[in-house]
C-alpha cells in the first residue's frame, strides 16, 4: 500500500529522526512510503491538525492516484481524522492506529491477540462516541432516533459487551500469571528481563545469551509474547531466567500499555532489567528516556537496571564495563551481533544476582550465615505454606523443578514459544 507520510515540526525533539522512525513503522505495517510532506507549526490546527493550505498540499500530492493512504506522525483527534478524510478523499491513519495495526499483525499468541483486540476496540469506541455527538450537533438534537444513531448505539453496545468479555478473559489470564510467578518466587530463580526501545537488539541479545549458556532449557512461561529461557551462569548463581519481551516506541498508545499490562507484568516482577540501548542510534538518549517513561508507567522503575549499550560494532566502541559512583555496574558495552562483550554482561548479571536481597541464601558464602529456609521463602509469599515452600525449594535446588515448568495451558495456540515485536526492522 503506497503511503504519503506527514510530519509536523513543533520544534521539539529530533524531527528528522522522528520521520525516519515513522517510515520504519509504516514499512513494518506493510505500507510503502512514497513521499513525505512536512510542516512547521506552533500548535496543531483543531480542524485538520495541519493548516488548510497544507491539507490542500497533501491533497495535491495524492491527486495522481498513486497514494493510497496518508499516515500522520501524530495522534489525530477523531474529528481531525474525519475532516482530513473528507477533504482529501483518501484514507488517513494516525500514529496510534498505525502502531495498533502493527501489534495486530504481529500478535501470535492467544493472549496477545486478545490484548490487541481490546486496545483496538477501545480506540474505536472513542471514535464512535464522538462521531455520534458530532451527528447529534448537526441535527440540532431533533430526530435523534433516526436509523443512523440507532446503528451507532447498537455498535457501541456490542463493542461495550466485547470489551467487558475481553477484560474478564485477560483478568483470568493475569491471575494465572500471578500464580505462576508465585511458584517461581518460591524457588527464587533470579529473573532478568530485557527491555528497551524497539530495534535496540533485545531479541538478538536474547538469542546470543541463551545459546551461550552451558545449560539451556526452552521455557515459555507467559502465554503472550514474552519468551523466557533458563540460562546457566556458573556454579555460584546457577540458573537465571532471561525474558525477551515487547519493544517500546515513542508515544506507545496508552490503550496498548493498558491492554498489555499482563505481558508487561513479567517485566514488573523481574529482579533485574537489562535496558538494551542501540548505542549506534543518534537518538539513543531520547530512546532511553522514552523507555524509562514506559517503565515508570507500568510501575517497573524501582527495579535495578543495567544499561546494555548494544551495537558497539556499529558505533566503533570497545567492549567494557562501566561502574557508577557506588561501585555498581552502570553500563555494559557489547555487541549482540558479534558477541563481543557478552562475557562481561554475564559477569554483570552474576554480580547483580549476588547483590540481590533475598537471593543470598542460594550462594555458598551466605548460606551458612542465613541458615534456615524460613528466610528463603520470601516476604511476598502470602499463603504461608512453609512446608510446601521448602519442598519446592529443595526440589528446585536439586534441579527437579524450578517452579516454572507448570506452564499456563490457556489455549492450544499457546503451546509454542512466540514473540511479538513492536516496531521496525
Ligand atoms: N550492528 C549491529 N546490529 C545489531 C546488533 N544487535 C542487533 N542488531 C540489529 O538490530 C536490528 C534489531 O534487532 P532485534 O534483536 O530484532 O531488536 P529488538 O530490540 O528485539 O527489536 P523489537 O523486537 O522490534 O523491539 C536487527 O537488524 C539486528 O540484526 C549489534 O550488536 N550490532
Ligand atoms: Mg525483539
The per-residue pLDDT for range 142-163, each reduced to its tens digit, is 555 555 556 677 778 888 899 9
CB-based contact 40:8 (threshold 8 Å): yes
Kindly report the protein residue whose alpha carbon is nearest to atom 6 of ligand 1.
201
Q: Is 56 marked within a binding site?
A: no
CB-based contact 40:63 (threshold 8 Å): no
Phi and psi at 193, nearest 5°, equal: -110, 135
* pLDDT number for residue 184: 67
Rounded CA-CA distance 417/303 in Å is: 26
CB-based contact 359:351 (threshold 8 Å): no
Pocket test for ligand 1, best of 29, 199, 418 (most atoms within 8 A of CB): 199
Given pLDDT bands bounded at 50, 70 and 90, which one contains residue 387? very low
pLDDT in tens, 261-281: 766 777 778 899 999 999 999
311 Cβ closer than 6 Å to some ligand 1 atom: yes
CB-based contact 304:272 (threshold 8 Å): yes
pLDDT in tens, 53-97: 999 999 999 988 899 999 999 999 989 999 999 999 999 999 988
273 Cβ closer than 6 Å to some ligand 1 atom: no
Instruction: Please state, for a pLDDT cut of 70, what percent of the chain lies above it.
Output: 73
Q: Which three cell numbers stand for residue 156?
A: 457501541
Rounded CA-CA distance 136/130 in Å is: 10
Q: Which residues of 211-220 are buried (b: 16+ CB within 10 A; e: fewer)?
A: eebeebbebb
Residue 327 scores a pLDDT above 70: yes
Average pLDDT over residues 367-372: 31
Q: State the ligand closest to the CA atom of 204.
A: 1
CA of residue 224 to ligand 2 center, whole Å: 14
* pLDDT number for residue 241: 87
120 Cβ closer than 6 Å to some ligand 1 atom: no
Rounded CA-CA distance 27/33 in Å is: 7
C-alpha count within 13 angstroms, C-beta hemisphere, residue 261:
17
Q: Which three cell numbers stand for residue 262?
A: 499482563
- As a whole number, the mean pLDDT across the chain is 75
Kindly report the protein residue whose alpha carbon is nearest to atom 9 of ligand 1.
201
CB-based contact 99:71 (threshold 8 Å): no
Residue 379 scores a pLDDT above 70: no
Rounded CA-CA distance 241/274 in Å is: 12
CB-based contact 294:260 (threshold 8 Å): no
* pLDDT number for residue 324: 85
Given pLDDT bands bounded at 50, 70 and 90, which one contains residue 219? very low
Kindly report the protein residue whose alpha carbon is nearest to atom 23 of ligand 1.
421
Q: Pick from 188, 131, 175, 154: which is nearest to 353 by CA?
A: 188
Q: Is 202 marked within a binding site?
A: yes
* pLDDT number for residue 299: 87
80 Cβ closer than 6 Å to some ligand 1 atom: no
Residue 138 scores a pLDDT above 80: no
ipTM above 0.85, yes or no: yes
Phi and psi at 93, nearest 5°, equal: -120, 140
340 Cβ closer than 6 Å to some ligand 1 atom: no
CB-based contact 69:90 (threshold 8 Å): yes
CA of residue 69 to ligand 2 center, whole Å: 27
Q: Is 203 marked within a binding site?
A: yes
**Which range in 51-55, 133-137, 157-161, 394-398 is most confidently predicted, on average pLDDT?**
51-55
* pLDDT number for residue 373: 27
336: helix, strand or coil: coil
Phi and psi at 65, nearest 5°, equal: 80, 0
423 Cβ closer than 6 Å to some ligand 1 atom: yes
- Higher-confidence residue: 130 or 117? 117
Question: Beta strand 239-244 with 190-196: parallel, antiparallel or unpaired?
Answer: parallel
CA of residue 201 to ligand 1 center, whole Å: 3
Which atom of ligand 1 lies closest to the CA of 207? 15
CA of residue 322 to ligand 2 center, whole Å: 25
Q: State the ligand closest to the CA atom of 280.
A: 1
CA of residue 215 to ligand 2 center, whole Å: 23
269 Cβ closer than 6 Å to some ligand 1 atom: no
Average pLDDT over residues 390-395: 37
- Positive or negative CA dihedral for 259, 5, 250, 202? positive
418 Cβ closer than 6 Å to some ligand 1 atom: no
Amino acid at each position: 500500500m503506497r503511503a504519503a507520510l506527514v510530519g509536523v515540526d513543533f520544534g521539539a525533539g529530533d524531527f528528522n529522526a522522528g520521520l525516519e522512525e515513522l517510515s520504519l513503522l509504516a514499512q513494518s505495517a506493510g505500507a510503502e512510503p512514497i513521499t513525505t510532506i512536512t510542516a512547521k507549526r506552533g500548535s496543531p490546527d483543531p480542524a485538520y491538525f495541519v493548516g488548510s493550505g497544507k491539507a490542500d498540499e497533501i491533497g495535491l500530492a495524492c491527486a495522481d492516484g498513486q497514494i493510497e493512504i496518508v499516515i500522520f506522525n501524530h495522534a489525530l483527534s477523531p474529528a481531525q481524522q474525519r475532516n482530513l478524510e473528507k477533504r482529501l478523499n483518501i484514507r488517513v491513519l494516525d500514529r496510534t492506529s498505525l502502531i495498533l495495526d502493527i501489534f495486530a499483525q504481529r500478535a501470535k499468541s492467544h493472549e496477545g491477540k486478545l490484548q490487541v483486540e481490546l486496545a483496538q476496540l477501545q480506540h474505536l469506541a472513542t471514535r464512535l462516541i464522538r462521531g455520534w455527538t458530532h451527528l447529534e450537533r448537526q441535527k440540532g438534537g431533533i430526530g435523534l432516533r433516526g436509523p443512523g444513531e440507532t446503528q451507532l448505539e447498537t455498535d457501541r453496545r456490542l463493542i461495550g459487551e466485547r470489551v467487558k468479555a475481553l477484560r474478564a478473559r485477560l483478568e483470568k489470564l493475569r491471575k494465572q500469571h500471578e500464580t505462576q510467578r508465585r511458584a517461581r518466587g518460591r524457588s527464587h530463580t533470579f529473573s532478568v528481563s530485557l527491555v528497551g526501545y524497539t530495534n535496540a537488539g533485545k531479541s538478538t541479545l536474547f538469542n546470543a545469551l541463551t545459546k551461550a549458556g552451558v545449560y539451556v532449557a526452552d521455557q515459555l512461561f507467559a502465554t503472550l509474547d514474552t519468551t523466557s529461557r533458563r540460562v546457566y551462569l556458573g556454579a555460584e548463581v546457577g540458573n537465571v531466567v532471561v525474558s525477551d519481551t515487547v519493544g517500546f516506541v515513542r508515544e506507545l498508545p496508552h490503550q496498548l500499555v493498558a491492554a498489555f499490562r499482563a505481558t508487561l507484568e513479567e517485566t514488573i516482577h523481574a529482579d533485574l532489567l537489562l535496558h538494551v540501548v542501540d548505542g549506534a542510534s543518534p537518538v539513543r538518549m531520547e530512546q532511553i528516556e522514552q523507555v524509562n517513561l514506559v517503565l515508570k508507567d507500568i510501575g517497573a522503575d524501582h527495579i535495578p537496571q543495567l544499561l546494555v549499550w548494544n551495537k558497539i560494532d556499529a558505533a566503533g566502541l570497545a567492549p567494557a564495563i562501566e561502574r557508577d559512583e557506588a561501585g555498581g555496574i552502570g553500563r555494559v558495552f557489547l555487541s549482540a551481533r558479534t558477541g563481543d562483550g557478552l562475557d562481561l554482561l554475564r559477569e554483570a548479571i552474576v554480580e547483580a544476582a549476588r547483590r540481590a536481597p533475598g537471593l543470598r541464601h542460594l550462594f555458598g558464602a551466605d548460606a551458612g550465615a542465613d541458615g534456615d529456609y524460613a528466610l528463603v521463602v520470601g516476604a511476598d509469599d502470602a499463603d504461608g505454606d512453609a512446608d510446601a515452600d521448602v519442598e519446592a525449594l529443595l526440589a528446585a535446588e536439586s534441579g527437579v523443578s524450578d517452579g516454572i515448568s507448570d506452564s499456563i495451558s490457556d489455549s492450544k495456540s499457546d503451546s509454542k514459544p512466540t514473540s511479538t515485536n513492536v516496531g521496525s526492522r
